Amino acid sequence: MLAHTAALAPSLTVQGLSKSFGERRAVRDVSFDVARGELLAVIGPNGAGKTTLLSMLAGILEPDTGTVAQPDRTTARIGWVPQQTAVYGKLTVAQNLRLFAKLEKVADVDATVRRMLEQTGLEQRADDELGKLSGGNRQRVNIAVGLLADPPVLLLDEPSGALDPRQRERLWGFITALTDRGTAVIFCTHDIAEAERHAHRVLVLADGEALFNGTAAELKAVADADEGHDLEQAFVGFLRERGH
Amino acid sequence: MRWMLLKDLQILRRSKLLVGLLIVYPVAIALLIGFALSSGPEKPRLAFLSHIPEGGQTIKLVGKKIDVKVYTDELFRSVDRIDVENRAQVLEKVRSGEALAGLILPPDFTTKLSNGGFNSASVEVVYNGDALKQSFVRSTVSSKLAQADAALARTINTVATDYVDIFTNGGHIDVLGTDLNLIGLKKTNTLIDSAIAIADKPQVSRKLAPVQNFAELSVANIDRVKDVLNTVEQPVKVNETVLSGSRAPLDTFAVALAVTISLMFVCVLLASGLLALEREENTFSRLARGLMPGGRLLAGKVMLAGGCAAVVTFAMLLGISAFVPLDFGRVGLWFAAIAVSALAFGALGVAIGSLAREVRAASLLALMLALPLAFLALVPSGSVSPALYDVIRVVSAIFPFKPALDAVNAAINDTTPSLGVALAHLGALIVIFGAAARAGLRRFALA
């Protein structure tokens, strides 16, 4: 695993990001960065602005103010994996990967498809229609599509929401392998325990505001959680103290 | 765009039932409408009873005989005849619905025609059913009887004209079995001239002068009798004036209508479904991140839907041409009309698809919009109030069905408005619905 220190060059730098929908301010002046090989969890209650933040990072939504920069590889596209699988159910696994590889203008399409099939462990299911796969396997293809262009930063929106525990474990093994290879991963989740277990750092959002940015242990300390309390209890207490 | 088109084709190839229904349903609807429009009322079945006695089948006019078959043959050319033996059977056939109506020729039919002219002869027609059915039956049977009457009148006219010729030029006629040789008005005139010359007496000339004058005037004007007889045969001649558009025969108009309806359904359903699929599969947001610009995505869907629909309807048109004679010299115009109409329907389809989250919703929306548009475009002027008709015209002009029907009809039948005007109208609608779809895409990228 890569060491995550301040000395590591950031893969993504976010400065003063804001977004409003009419009168409602969904994201307010959020700033953070994420280093190469780092796994950042964005946690917060429903309506906190997590998906809006990820959509702006992915380039789907235009921010009202603020910037998203990739200091080391400014031309590389950020990988994005939406919450719901965004692949074609009537195409096979290989056809989906091939289509998106071509749309991503990947240099060697065949080699990339082979690599992604290998990484996702779906070589045997390459010719199966996606609609006939389990939810876990579909999500693996969903993530694989996000990785086709070998992005330096990968965004995952609630990646394990629809998976059973065994599928979830396999998914996190896959994501951890990505960060080990140097991909920076930002994921948003409701599952605080999952964030505590897998993330190197957590960013707490509430009502569009970034209230905390640090490790799970630091969040517990800030929340002044009693010994024996887990991160979820600390997180709830932290939000309550701040009126959320 | 090439990869997205290939992807859509792969998806369609795997959706055999959907594609099958998408093609068969609109084609079936279109052919049914076309058939309903082009086919006239079915050959009505008539129970027929003739009371005319054996040997009395001929109408006798001053020695000439006309067989009553002139009348009945014309009638039964367009009517299915059920022969019965008595009046009770006529009533039973009509009452049971086996026959649409009953026709009874009375025993004195030929006698009255022979003695008193055909105005005095009559036939009995028996109807049954409710007011609506009676109205239909009456109009159908009346038109058939009128055709038979006209045929008889033509035959009688020919006989009368022959007599006029005999009175003019001379010849033989049969009167009550006696052959009479008439010298004719022309010869009479010549004979009077000769008699006056031989007599050489002023008083004879004076006495015969009025007769000579009568014979001259009769010879000079007797052809007018033929004109009068022709007028009786066809009392009112109809001259048609068409105010707008040259008339297309109903069956070739039905072909244009069937093709346009089929084109609309295939194209609108396919284009709306293909675009809605991107949203249903959640792939649009992925594509919208720069992988596929919205304009190219829409163009791809429109072209694919338009291409598929154009192929289906062009094949349908070629198939129909085996049954309805069409001018193959205009095949290039057919193709232009179908291609541009397909693009306009495709643009409408993607505009609908951009409003829906699911393929099913898009299909339902497309159907709900397409059917009323087709019916509205067919509302004839005069059937509704002028104000309502103006509204219908405006609504029909906003959507592609009416201009597409005009274009296809002009391409097939050379009608007005001209093909160029219809294509320009469709071009404007392609731009408008393309822009609407683009706006819809932007909206659902944010949703």
Task: Tell whether the model's pLDDT for residue A40 goes beyond 90.
Answer: yes
The pair of structure tokens assigned to B55 is 């040997």
Where do the DSSP E strands lie in B63-184?
A: 64-67, 80-83, 101-105, 124-126, 171-175, 178-182
Q: For residues B209 and B192, give the distance between their C-alpha atoms in angstroms, rounded to a whole number.
A: 9
DSSP letters for A140-169? HHHHHHHHTT--SEEEEESTTTT--HHHHH
* pLDDT in the model for residue B4: 82
Residue pLDDT, tens place only, A81-128 = 888 888 999 899 999 999 999 998 888 999 999 988 888 888 889 999
Sorting pLDDT into bands at 50, 70 and 90, what band is A2? very low
Question: Does a structural domain hold residue A99?
Answer: no
How far B8 CA sits from the closest chain A CA (Å)? 10
Sorting pLDDT into bands at 50, 70 and 90, what band is B232? low
**How many CB atoms are closer than 10 A to CB A151?**
21
Q: Is B446 close to A61, i.e. CB distance below 8 A? A: yes
Domains of chain B: residue spans and CATH? 2-38+247-446 (no CATH), 45-157 (3.40.1710.10), 171-221 (no CATH)
Task: Tell whether the model's pLDDT for residue A1 goes beyond 50.
Answer: no
What single DSSP character describes residue B292? S
Residues 6+ apart with CB under 8 A from B70: B151, B152, B155
Give the rounded distance of the alpha carbon of A44 from its chain centre. 14
Q: Is B289 close to A82, i.e. CB distance below 8 A? A: no
Task: Tell whether the model's pLDDT for residue B80 goes beyond 90.
Answer: no
Q: For residues B34 and B251, give the distance between their C-alpha atoms in angstroms, rounded to a whole number.
A: 8
User: What is the value of ipTM here, to two decimals?
Assistant: 0.77
Q: Contact at 8 Å (CB) between B343 and B351?
A: no
Burial class of A179 by CB neighbour count within 10 A (0 to 12, 13 to 18, 19+): buried
Closest CA to B264 of B353, B398, B374: B374
* pLDDT in the model for residue A42: 94
Question: Does a structural domain hold residue A117?
Answer: no
Task: Calculate the average pLDDT of chain B.
Answer: 79
Percent of chain B with pLDDT over 70: 81
Question: Does a structural domain hold residue A187?
Answer: yes
Name chain A contacts of B6, Cβ cutoff 8 Å: 99
Give first-to-last CA distance, chain B, whole Å. Answer: 24
Residue pLDDT, tens place only, A188-240 = 988 888 888 999 999 999 989 999 999 888 888 877 766 667 778 888 888 88
**Domain span at residue A178?**
10-78+151-241
Nearest 5°: the CA angle B280, A125, A112 is 85
Q: Contact at 8 Å (CB) between B275 and B353?
A: yes
Of B103-112, B227-236, B277-286, minimum mean pLDDT range: B227-236
At residue B355, what are phi and psi to the nearest 5 degrees? Answer: -95, -15
A contact residues 32-51, partner B, Cβ 8 Å cutoff: none
Question: Does a structural domain hold residue A135?
Answer: no
Task: Tell whether the model's pLDDT for residue A7 goes beyond 60.
Answer: no
* pLDDT in the model for residue A155: 92
For residue B44, say if its preceding peptide bond is cis, omega within 30 degrees of 0.
Answer: no
**How many CB atoms are closer than 10 A to CB A233?**
15
Q: Contact at 8 Å (CB) between A167 and A8?
A: no
At residue A49, what are phi and psi to the nearest 5 degrees? Answer: 110, 15
A contact residues 96-125, partner B, Cβ 8 Å cutoff: 99-100, 102-104
Question: Does a structural domain hold residue A155?
Answer: yes
* pLDDT in the model for residue B197: 79
Question: Does a structural domain hold residue A137?
Answer: no
Which strands form A184-189's sheet, in the order they lie side by side?
A: A65-69, A10-21, A24-35, A209-214, A201-206, A39-43, A184-189, A153-157, A79-81
Q: Based on the structure, what is the number of domains in chain A? A: 1
Give first-to-last CA distance, chain A, whole Å. Answer: 35
At residue A189, what are phi and psi to the nearest 5 degrees? Answer: -155, 155
Q: For residues A232 and A221, give the distance between their C-alpha atoms in angstroms, rounded to a whole number.
A: 13
Q: Contact at 8 Å (CB) between A57 and A186?
A: yes
Question: Using CB atoms, which residue from A84, A91, A103 is nearest to B291?
Answer: A103
Task: Tell whether the model's pLDDT for residue B302 goes beyond 90.
Answer: yes
Interface test with A, best of B18, B275, B283 (most A CBs within 10 A): B283
Closest CA to A220 of A238, A200, A193: A238
Residue with tokens 């009452």: B95
* pLDDT in the model for residue A5: 45
Task: Tell whether the model's pLDDT for residue B237 goes beyond 60.
Answer: no
pLDDT greater at residue B264 or residue B151:
B264
Residue pLDDT, tens place only, B328-346 = 888 899 999 999 999 999 9
Question: Does a structural domain hold residue A234?
Answer: yes
Closest CA to A189 of A171, A203, A170, A210: A203
**Mean pLDDT across B254-273:** 89
Sorting pLDDT into bands at 50, 70 and 90, what band is B401? very high
Of A51-65, A152-166, B110-124, minimum mean pLDDT range: B110-124
Of B236-245, B395-404, B437-446, minimum mean pLDDT range: B236-245
Q: Contact at 8 Å (CB) between B301 and B354?
A: no
Residue pLDDT, tens place only, B190-211 = 888 888 778 777 777 777 777 7
A60 touches chain B (CB under 8 A): yes
Q: Contact at 8 Å (CB) between B314 and B334?
A: yes
Q: For residues B337 and B318, give the distance between their C-alpha atoms in angstroms, rounded to a whole number.
A: 15
Sorting pLDDT into bands at 50, 70 and 90, what band is B316? confident
Interface test with A, best of B1, B4, B8, B14 (most A CBs within 10 A): B14
How far B290 CA sits from the closest chain A CA (Å)? 9
Name chain A contacts of B10, Cβ cutoff 8 Å: 90-91, 95
* pLDDT in the model for residue B343: 95
Task: Tell whether the model's pLDDT for residue B374 goes beyond 90.
Answer: no
Q: Is A77 close to B446, i.e. CB distance below 8 A? A: no
Residue pLDDT, tens place only, A126-171 = 999 988 888 888 888 988 898 888 888 999 988 887 677 877 888 8
Task: Tell whether the model's pLDDT for residue B298 goes beyond 70.
Answer: yes
What torsion do the CA atoms of B221, B224, B226, B227 make, to the nearest 10 degrees? 160
How far B18 CA sits from the closest chain A CA (Å)? 13
* pLDDT in the model for residue B209: 79
Question: Does a structural domain hold residue A105?
Answer: no
Closest CA to A81 of B358, B8, B285, B278: B285
Of B93-102, B133-142, B402-411, minimum mean pLDDT range: B133-142
Task: Tell whether the model's pLDDT for residue B245 goes beyond 70.
Answer: no
CATH number at residue A179: 3.40.50.300
